A = this chain, B = another copy of it.
């Protein structure tokens, strides 16, 4: 096989691990299957990573950052506030429907991190970033539309992050495409209500 600097191999193996784990689940993904997915031998894996845990740490930070990027890109300013919120949810939702396994993986990795001594921080970082992400989005919305919020930004951000998380998991388990139009409408109305100027 072609030689490659260690840092690049690490990225390649991390990406391969994400593909393998999204496809097979975290529990069934072995160091061997990751090496195979990347097209290298097992020793190359252990040349780049001291242990499987070290790889999983890279996987978690990588996929978390990836997720944040996805959501950030989902929210583009539109004509009205309600339109912006609705379109943002829709864009996010389209991504979930197109890549369910990848989103499932984020939940599995959270569980993994919470159960692995020393990895709890990674799960917390993941969910803190979600919170910060929504905080940014709300601030942006607030400035663009000159809003006063009915609830503190921190509360709203955390609520939105948790709600999106719950709705996503619910969809991953139950599917049922049609039901979601109504639910997204309800959510949109609620959010629009929470951020509508009251003065």
Contacts and interface: CB of A to CB of B under 8 A. Distances in A.
B183 A159 contact: yes
B166 A111 contact: no
A104 to B, nearest CB: 7
Chain A residues touching B, majority SS: helix
Interface in A105-158: 107-108, 110-112, 114-115, 123-124, 126-128, 131, 151-152, 154-156, 158
Given A111-B104, A115-B25, A179-B154, A161 B170 contact: yes
A116 B110 CA distance: 19
A197 interface: no
A62 to B, nearest CB: 18
A7 interface: no
Contacts of A114: 104, 172-173
Q: Kindly report how many copies of this chain are found in the complex they form together.
A: 2
A33 interface: no
Contacts of A15: none
Nearest to A181: B155
Contacts of A172: 114
A112 to B, nearest CB: 7
Given A115-B25, A179-B155, A182-B152, A167 B162 contact: yes
A96 B126 CA distance: 21
A94 to B, nearest CB: 18
A164 interface: yes
Contact of A127 (B25, B173, B187): B173
A163 interface: yes
B170 A169 contact: no
Interface in A16-30: 24-25, 27-28
Interface of A: 24-25, 27-28, 104, 107-108, 110-112, 114-115, 123-124, 126-128, 131, 151-152, 154-156, 158-159, 161-167, 169-170, 172-174, 179, 182-183, 186-187, 190, 193-194
